[in-house]
Chains A and B, each alone.
Chain A
Amino acid sequence: MVESATVAADTGVKRNQWQLWLLVILLIYLLLAAVGAIGDGFKSASGDNARELFSFASNPLIALVVGLLATALIQSSSTVTSIIVGLVAGGLPISIAIPMAMGANIGTSLTSTLVSLGHVRNGQEFRQAFAAATVHDAFNLLAVFILLPIEILFRPLERASLVFAELLVSDSSVSMSDFNVMKMLLAPAGDVLNAMTAWLPGILSGLALIALGIALILFVVTKIGKILRLLLVGKAKDIMHSAVGRGPLAGIASGTVMTVLVQSSSTTTALIVPLAGTGVFTIRQVYPFTLGANIGTTITALLAATAIHGPMAVLALQIALVHLFFNLAAILVIFGTPVLRDVPIWIAENLARLAQINKLYVIAYIAGVFFVLPLVAIGIGRII
């Protein structure tokens, strides 16, 4: 009697899991459809004038600020980079998209900072939690500071990503039947989304399609994260357990895998804040984990790029690869260099020490990164 009840319960749990996995697949489908919708909407709204539409962001610093603020508002770099993939597919120039993707890296760290504020009543805990939260931002700011000028001058990310994108995207003119599976699968959803906005006049229908695509991506990314968390929290714990007591590479690997599992670098980096706040993990142990989160989060944009077919497929994949290569390059340059490796830790620890003494430094930090820095960047952008 008891055994049959247990078997029934197990069967029920397995059926529930299957349902959740089906839901994940449906949500991924909607994500791809949404990215395609943004591309179509942008093409429709801008016509041949995509560059003019985004001319205000033609300065890389301003594009950086757009990516930073959009991500800080939405609190999801996965969402913003997926939107960027859609916009590139719709004609947004890569030269504008690249700094936007870099800005998305910076904006995502606000979540972990907010989580650290929960420790504010305990001085030592707050200091440790705030340091763990800000080490991610310090790293991302340093990465942009070093790599953005190099990218502007020599375009290494743009060039390297184009080579790989052209290699990876199959040429549809080579196939015998010119048959595109993704196009066929996504057509029904794309048609429904288009039909929802096609009745609007002129440019409005394109803009509405973009807005619909953005809202859908935001919904999907949020929901997928929650469902995957339910399904994979055990796996996520196993991964973290396996990294305990091992070196920084294990930390990076576990941060990467965990972020892929929960589909959110904001969540991953925020999760370790309480762990660091209690002193169980040191900032040096937390640091590689946040770097892994930077890599793991690029999977969403890569997934989004699979929604794009035809001549824009290469560009869509290119910007997704730029996001990945930027984060890999940042780790190689900063974490891989002894001189630079500890700079983010030094910044985070000193900021946390000041924040423990006077909480106004917290406000100064948030205002500085998310208000003053963007304004300064815009100002410099206008002067240059």
Chain B
Amino acid sequence: MTTLSREEKQQRIVELREALNKLEAELEKDIERQQHDAIDQLDEHFVTVETKFQNLKVFWQTLKDEWTSHDRGQS
């Protein structure tokens, strides 16, 4: 139990809400900045789209590894 008076507690709540709003706004700005940076790298993602069939090899290898480790776990 704090020693703050009722008015002090209300004031403290208002201050915390303002701080939270400010922090959320800053977080929003950070996220938007990251999104802008990611968009600037769009050219790399075009390459990813063009080499999409190579992902099947990666996926297949990962699947085989999981099966192998699952079998080893069971035995």
Residues on A facing B (Cβ under 8 Å): 111, 114-118, 120-121, 229, 233, 236-237, 240-241, 244-245, 266-267, 270-271, 274-275, 278, 280-281, 358-360, 362-363
Contacts and interface: CB of A to CB of B under 8 A. Distances in A.
Contact of A280 (B34, B46, B59): B34
Contact of A237 (B40, B55, B58): B40
Contact of B49 (A244, A270, A359): A270
16 contacts: A111-B52, A114-B56, A116-B55, A120-B58, A229-B46, A240-B42, A244-B32, A245-B35, A266-B49, A274-B45, A274-B48, A278-B38, A280-B38, A359-B59, A359-B66, A363-B63
B59 A117 contact: yes
A344 to B, nearest CB: 22
A267 B46 CA distance: 8
Given A120-B62, A280-B35, A281-B35, A236 B42 contact: yes
Given A120-B55, A275-B39, 19 more contacts: A115-B49, A115-B55, A117-B55, A117-B59, A118-B48, A118-B55, A120-B59, A121-B62, A229-B46, A241-B36, A244-B35, A267-B49, A270-B48, A271-B42, A274-B45, A275-B45, A280-B34, A280-B35, A358-B66
A325 B68 CA distance: 49
B33 to A, nearest CB: 9
A281 B35 CA distance: 7
Contacts of A275: 35, 38-39, 45
Interface string B20-34: 000000001001101
B7 interface: no
B32 A245 contact: yes
Q: In this complex, which of A275, A358, A360 has the most chain B Cβ atoms within 10 angstroms of its Cβ?
A: A275
Interface of B, helix, strand, loop or mixed by DSSP: helix
Nearest to B31: A280
A299 to B, nearest CB: 19
A244 B31 CA distance: 10
Given A114-B55, A117-B59, A245-B32, A233 B46 contact: yes
Given A121-B58, A245-B28, A359-B59, A115 B52 contact: yes
A281 B41 CA distance: 14
B56 A241 contact: no
Given A359-B59, A359-B63, A237 B42 contact: yes
Contacts of A267: 46, 49
A267 B48 CA distance: 10
A233 B41 CA distance: 11
A351 to B, nearest CB: 15
A126 to B, nearest CB: 9
A240 B48 contact: no
A320 B12 CA distance: 61
Contact of B39 (A114, A241, A266, A363): A241
B46 A281 contact: no
Contacts of B35: 244-245, 275, 280-281
A329 to B, nearest CB: 28
A197 B67 CA distance: 52
Q: Shortest 9 CB-CB distances between A and B: which pairs? A: A118-B55, A117-B55, A117-B59, A114-B52, A280-B38, A270-B49, A240-B39, A120-B62, A245-B32
B43 interface: yes
A270 B55 CA distance: 13
B31 to A, nearest CB: 8
B59 to A, nearest CB: 4
A224 to B, nearest CB: 15
A165 B36 CA distance: 41
Q: In this complex, which of B38, B48, B49, B54 has the most chain A Cβ atoms within 10 angstroms of its Cβ?
A: B49
Contacts of A117: 55-56, 58-59
